[in-house]
Amino acid sequence: MREYRIDELAQTAGTTVRNIRSYQDRGLLPPPRLQGRVGIYDDAHLARLRLIGQMLERGYTLSNIGDLVAAWEAGRDVGDVLGLEQVLTDPWSDEIPAWLSFAELVEVFGPGRDAAEIDALLARAVELGLVEPEGDRYRAPSPRLLHVGAELVANGVPLEAVLGIAGEIRRDCEVIAGRFVDLVNEHVIADADLLGKDAVRVAEVVRRMRPLVQMVVNPFVARAMEKRVRAELGDKLEFLLESEEKDTAL
């Protein structure tokens, strides 16, 4: 779960630091976790801010929202309405993040490179979200992605090429995600009462999207890979066999 300082949270949520403090004073937003004298917020705070924004856009007053939040936290049925907040914060992956030191990253991905090259490649990895600097360490949200990158590099693929394809694949995945969300938004969410009777149904649809997306994407990727690998290697093998036959004939 990502963590934010108050100014970062405000920027991400599209609101202001003043609004965040006002919501806290009204009890609409839970207090942050204190790290020394600094308040640390997380994705649950971000989801609550977005929900508050949606309610305000629909004409709810801060007083109305406060009543709903209080009722939800007391465990009453309005939890069906605000249960969407949990859907927004639940992770879509079962991966446990890993932490690596700078030296460990260099050992795997940067042996033989000078400091300027390492800094540029590391900045690109951070930009792609493959690693996130945290103090004197780096957090890897998806160790699986790092493992894939390490395997490719170990087998002779330049790290620059690995990072390049990672950026392209990320963009492709954003397109796929957008298509699924647009599909559900058009046919399920567009006319739904997210703050009323349809909240439970919409939350369940969003939850079901997680396995459904994987069930759709994985077979298409597998078939595409099978087709491309056979075509590519088949052409090369056919060329080699033809060359060998010519050499034999001579």
Q: pLDDT at position 142, please?
A: 92
* pTM metric for this prediction: 0.62
Residue whose token pair is 């300082």: 5
Dist CA 2 CA 42 (whole Å): 6
Per-residue model confidence as pLDDT tens digits over 193-227: 765 677 777 777 877 887 888 888 989 999 998 88
Report the C-alpha gap between 185 and 199 in whole angstroms: 14
Q: Per-residue confidence at 135, pLDDT binned at 50, 70, 90?
A: confident
CA 31 from chain center: how many Å?
A: 25
- CA distance between the termini of the chain: 67
Question: Token pair of 240, please?
Answer: 């080699």
Contacts 24+ apart (CB under 8 A), 123-128: 124/163, 125/163, 128/163, 128/166, 128/167, 128/170
- Token representation of residue 133: 């600097």
| Per-residue pLDDT reduced to its tens digit, 95-106 | 888 999 999 999
CATH of the domain spanning 3-89: 1.10.1660.10
Provide the pLDDT confidence category of residue 242 given band limits of 50, 70 and 90. low
